[in-house]
Structure 1
Amino acid sequence: MKIESNILLLLLFIAPLTVKSQVEFIEVETLEQMKAAKKKASDGMLMLFVDVYATWCGPCKMMDSEVYTDPAVADYMNAHYLSVRMDGESDFGRIYASEQQLEGYPSMFIFSDDGERVSNIVGFTPAGELVTNLKSVVDGHKKVKTYRAQYQKGTLDAEGFADYITVVRDMGNQEEADRLASEYMDQVMEAKSKLSDDDMRVVAFYMDLDDTWWEEFSSDPDRLRRILGEDYMLAMEKIYNNTLVKAVDEDRIDLISKMANELAPLVELETISWDLRSLPFIQYYYYTNKTDELISYVDKRFVSDRKDDHRWLYGAASQITDMDQQYQTEQLLKKELEWYAACIELEEHFDYYFYQGMVFFFLKEGVNAKESFSKAESLASTQEEKAMVEQVLGYINGQ
């Protein structure tokens, strides 16, 4: 299904950095070396951090140059973790990556001092975010040990059970959090007719808009914000994704309408994301391969309630361009050119020309792509925009 393999265009810039601090890694090439590293971590009562990289991976190189050399990262990891790394495409690396179900490069796996995998991180992670995550794992694992002991004895009350699930999820151990949440909903909530605050903390991450609890869950937004606190938007994102996947899998446009009418109002004040009342329909039509309906939806909106709203049309067109980068559906690409041209006719803007250039490039119309990117360059107002165009034009000219 397209929804599982959507790939977005990433522009990566790698700059040399010279600093004194460095995470102290042990390079692992064999099973024996990994066993020795695990024993060393256990003996030292340290968490084990395993970085799996690929020699060709740009984000992996960025981790080396920008993150593992950061003083705060180096100081914290060297004090609380035994850190090892391996080439995921070496003989042993391939075996290890398969065992850990590696999702991409770089992947960072974290194990407790007794060898239990407690978290994993995928992709480039900025220094500040990595330190925060690593501290959360260290602090969280101490709490998990306490909660787990009570859970196994059957002495964990509903509030403690909800806390247990929250800590496990915050540590990044999603599989374990899912298992515990399923047990919570079966054991604690089965006979309930009303949602307690603890119930809402749990179901917020596992429900969709088709759930029997949704009406009560969403009935008091102020209560919801109070209970979820900083996790409010994260929970709304999970509900959005859960519902979208279900709507696509079951081909249910009614759920999409419900997302636009009931979920969007709960998050519109907290996010700057483009039109959350339109986005579910665009994603639904795209991921269910309803290309004609998708085009018709955008066209009809642009001549009715969104008449001449070029920012809305650009938002719709760019969403589709981004979603379709892997597949580059010709029918959509040609329509996207019409939409970007309509935007430009109403107002010349860097974004419109840049995306128009991308579509021309996907259609292998190099001359037109250069013309659009050059026009975008003339409208660039920031160094970042100028660098984006310079890199793309350099790539096209190189071809």
Structure 2
Amino acid sequence: MMLIIGWEGTAQRITWIRARSINDWERVLGMAGNTQMGIFVQVCSEWSQICMNMNNIVLRDRQLVTEINKRFIPVQIDGDSDFGQLWIKYYALPGYPVHLFMNAKENILIRLNGAQDRETMLASVRRASVLITLYPQLQSGFIAGSLSMKGFNELLQIETDNNGIEASRPIFEEYKKKFGNQLLTDSNGLRWISTFGLDLDDSLFTEIIKKSSLYKAEKTFRYEDFLNASLNLNLRKAVQDSSEMHLSNIVVRLLPLIAKDSIQERKLGFKTKKLFYYDTYNAEKFYQTLEEEYADSSAESKRRDYIQTANELMETRTTLPWANITVKILREAIAIKDDMNARIGLAGALTLAKEFDQAVQQLNLARQMTNDSFFRAEIDNMIQRVRQIQLQNQQ
């Protein structure tokens, strides 16, 4: 009787391996590779009630425990530990609890966020055990051009979970190329269209917009997500081709579909244009768009936005053309309202623009705006740094 009780108790527990370091994780990967088993990872914490419920109730189910222990190497990672935080960041996890089914090559086959019931976990265990052998076949089928619609759906799910939307886009493009209009009558096809978006020149885009009320009623089709994904896709294409014609097409055809009213459409138009000119490194056009955007703004609002934009540019765009634009923006802000911080910011922009004497002049003006000895000393140090940079440039 004692032997039976002991066996029953053991059978109802998952044989966890607790990974506390990269070395522990690499040993797990080695075990998986040698045994051809999958890896079942639980990222949890000791204080989480959801984690406690999962471990004490759901993951104590006899059938579930048996199948996990048979087909997977179960690994627990403490999400609060240094290794757990590193792991969460590396795999871009939303938090915990998270349960992942993986293969020996660290591909995520199934991801389950948050609390799960017994039925979901059991179905996932069985599905993941199939995907361990199916995933390489899906990859081979894609290369050979022999994937079915179902195969593409399986492959896209795994690839987007592992590599993200943009890295998986070539697979989606082949999916769309192979099945075309069939995707519009397939629930998974519509789901992937709303995830990846479509080119404005794609006939599928025209069809969806023409029958938008019909597609909005589809449960798997997320219309707003589709429009936003299409915006991102078409803007990247416009930037890649440096095409203002394509940019104009976005503003005229796509933004009215996204915006709720004319005010939002105007704001979205300026934002889209600024992103285009920023990413195509067209500083002058960026500045012209900025001026047009804030033409009707209040003085205080305009000044605040100018300073924020200038600060962002000084951190991300340090070439001479952008430095000159930043100088213009900050001069506009100072013309609205002068203060010490704005003068210091202008000095920084002038330094990037290699206008060193003007930068020192601005710092001296800033120095006159305060009687605080600490700030004056800091400004004196800034002047010395500008002169050192000037000397280095002369050499």
Q: TM bucket by the smaller chain? A: 0.5 to 0.7
Range with bigger deviation, 227-236 or 133-142:
133-142
Is the radius of gyration larger for structure 1 or structure 2?
A: 2
Instruction: Name the counterpart of 2:230.
Output: 239
Q: How far did 1:281 drift?
A: 0.9
The answer to whether 1:334 aligns with 2:327 is yes
- Asked if the contact 1:208/1:239 (under 8 Å) is kept, the reply is yes
Indicate how the Cα distance of structure 1 residues 324 and 283 shifts in structure 2: closer, same or farther if over 3 A, else same: farther
Q: Give the number of equivalent residue pairs.
A: 301
* Partners of 1:224 and 1:238 in 2: CA distance: 16
What's the TM-score, normalizing by structure 1? 0.53
Q: Which runs of 5+ in 2 are unaligned?
A: 1-16, 60-67, 69-73, 94-99, 352-361, 370-377, 383-395
Post-superposition Cα deviations, 1:26-52, rounded to whole Å, max 9, x if no partner, equal 313389635456469976x642479xx
Q: How far did 1:180 drift?
A: 4.3
Indicate how the Cα distance of structure 1 residues 169 and 251 shifts in structure 2: closer, same or farther if over 3 A, else same: same
The answer to whether 1:253 aligns with 2:236 is no
* Partners of 2:125 and 2:170 in 1: CA distance: 17
The answer to whether 1:118 aligns with 2:101 is no
Question: Aligned ranges for residues 261-280 of structure 1 at < 5 Å?
Answer: 261-269=252-260, 275-280=267-272
Instruction: Name the counterpart of 2:390.
Output: none
What's the TM-score, normalizing by structure 2? 0.53
Higher relative contact order (CA 8 A, sep 6+): 1
Instruction: Name the counterpart of 1:28.
Output: 22
Question: Aligned ranges for residues 1-399 of structure 1 at < 5 Å?
Answer: 24-29=18-23, 33-36=27-30, 38=32, 46-48=39-41, 71=48, 75=52, 82-83=75-76, 106-108=89-91, 112-119=101-108, 131-132=113-114, 158=149, 160=150, 164=154, 167-168=157-158, 171-174=161-164, 177-178=168-169, 180-189=171-180, 192=181, 195-196=184-185, 198=187, 199-204=189-194, 205-227=196-218, 231-269=222-260, 275-303=267-295, 306=296, 308=298, 311=301, 318=308, 321-322=311-312, 325-328=315-318, 329-341=322-334, 359=345, 363=349
* Partners of 2:336 and 2:217 in 1: CA distance: 41
- Asked if the contact 1:47/1:82 (under 8 Å) is kept, the reply is yes
* Partners of 2:256 and 2:222 in 1: CA distance: 17
* Partners of 1:40 and 1:134 in 2: CA distance: 30
Instruction: Name the counterpart of 1:18.
Output: none
* Partners of 1:366 and 1:263 in 2: CA distance: 46
Instruction: Name the counterpart of 2:9.
Output: none
Q: How far did 1:252 drift?
A: 0.8
Instruction: Name the counterpart of 1:6.
Output: none
User: Letter of the aligned partner of 1:293 in structure 2?
Assistant: K
* Partners of 1:369 and 1:77 in 2: CA distance: 61
Q: Which runs of 5+ in 1 are unaligned?
A: 1-22, 51-66, 86-92, 94-101, 121-128, 346-352, 373-394
Q: How far did 1:318 drift?
A: 4.0
User: Letter of the aligned partner of 2:164 in structure 1?
Assistant: Q
Range with bigger deviation, 254-263 or 314-323:
314-323
Post-superposition Cα deviations, 1:166-216, rounded to whole Å, max 9, x if no partner, equal 643663443785454234223211xx4994354443333152324343322
Where 1:227 maps in the other structure, the secondary structure is coil
Q: How far did 1:243 drift?
A: 1.3
* Partners of 2:146 and 2:129 in 1: CA distance: 14
Where 2:23 maps in the other structure, the secondary structure is coil
User: Letter of the aligned partner of 2:312 in structure 1?
Assistant: D
Where 1:82 maps in the other structure, the secondary structure is strand
